[in-house]
Amino acid sequence: MANRVRAAYRRRAPGEPRALGYLYIAPALVVFVAMVIVPLGQSVWYSLFSWDGLSVATWVGVGNYTALVSDPTLRGPFLHALVLLIFYSLLPILLGLLLAAAMSRVRVRGLTFFRTVLFLPQVLAMVVVAVTWRWIYAPGGLLNEALRLVGLDGLTHSWLGDFTLALPAIGVAGTWVGFGLCMVLFLAGVQTIPRERYEAARLDGAGPLQEFRAVTLPALRPQIAVAATLTIVAGLRNFDLIYLTTAGGPGNSTAVPAYEVYHRAFEIGQVGSAAAVGIGLTVLIFLLTVVVSRLVEGTQ
């Protein structure tokens, strides 16, 4: 140990001061530990109790965690979150790949314009996204009006009030937020693929589909990993959109862990259970990010 410390010091450049590094890190570290690390530890501690936020808490050990699996009102939100990832993550990636495939065959002019517009939904506050999508799904809203316009009156719905349709409806709003990010990533990636690879594939008689599978898709692997990580993390963290469109309803059909944390801790006084959901969500995010990066490395 002492040797390693000495070795660490010896690698310093000549004239470089010793302990100064700690001083530069200290202010950031203090704020970070007090506002992130300590609360994270407290959350774990809270999650081991049954507590209504007011009276004395009772120790329940891992009880709140086993409930995540056994209690359907807790299992449901986690399942909903996984369903939403199809919309938040998978669909944007597929749409992005579609566009990338189309654009791999031509040099596009005005790329900056397209990039700016497609990425725009990413920078809007979720509150604003919620307002506009509530209107789109309203009984007299854009979607129903469009359906009536093409004579599909039978398909009109009160989208966010429907037990089976509310979850996918929110999902589509999430797809709208995320697809531009994936497209921008993949467009940048596609433009760096050497033209010769496409020419070689064409000489071998590859059609557009084979060309995509043999050239475009493998080359975009790193970008796909980044897109998957970003959209999965953002999707699982997404509280605002659910809270402001359906508040978990109708029934519990659109409840997700991020919403359940707020609802239990601040609306119905189940603080311990809420903390366990928060920690469970953290673990899930961590696991999925690791899985994504493993998948990418493993197949290279």
Partner 1 sequence: MISSRLDRTLTYAVLVLFVVIALVPVLQIVSTALSSNEHAQPGLLLPDGLHWHNFVDAWQRGHFGTYLRSSVIVTVVVVVAAAVLSTMAAYAFGTMRFPGVSVLFYLFLLGLTVPEEALVIPLYYDFRGLGLTDTYWALILPQTAQSVAFGTYWMRTYFSRSSREITEAARIDGASTWSILWRVLVPSGRPAITTLVVITFMWTWNEFLLALVMVSSDARRTVPLGLAFFQGQHSSDVALLAAGAVLVALPVVIVYLAFQRRFIEGMLSGAVKE
Q: Which is nearer to partner 1, 166 or 279 (CB)?
A: 279
Cα separation of 257 and 282, whole Å? 10
- Contact indicator for 262, 252 with CB cutoff of 8 Å: no
DSSP string, 61-115: TTHHHHHHHH-HHHHHHHHHHHHHHIIIIIHHHHHHHHHHHHHTTSPPS-HHHHH
Q: CB 9 → partner 1: shortest distance, Å? A: 7
The overall longest dimension of the chain from CA atoms, in Å, is: 79
Cα separation of 49 and 53, whole Å? 11
Q: CB 246 → partner 1: shortest distance, Å? A: 13
Q: Which is nearer to partner 1, 54 or 61 (CB)?
A: 54
Q: Which is nearer to partner 1, 83 or 98 (CB)?
A: 98
Q: Which is nearer to partner 1, 114 or 217 (CB)?
A: 114
Q: Tally the C-alpha atoms within 13 A of residue 176's C-alpha that lie toward its C-beta.
A: 16
- Asked if the peptide bond before residue 257 counts as cis, ω within 30 degrees of 0, the response is no
Q: CB 78 → partner 1: shortest distance, Å? A: 13
Q: CB 102 → partner 1: shortest distance, Å? A: 5
> Rounded to the nearest 5 degrees, what angle is found at the Cα of 116, between the Cα atoms of 87 and 192?
85
Q: CB 189 → partner 1: shortest distance, Å? A: 11
Residue whose C-alpha is closest to residue 87's, from 30, 198, 201, 170: 170
- What's the one-letter identity of residue 61? G
Q: Which is nearer to partner 1, 112 or 299 (CB)?
A: 112
Q: CB 49 → partner 1: shortest distance, Å? A: 12
Q: Which is nearer to partner 1, 27 or 151 (CB)?
A: 27
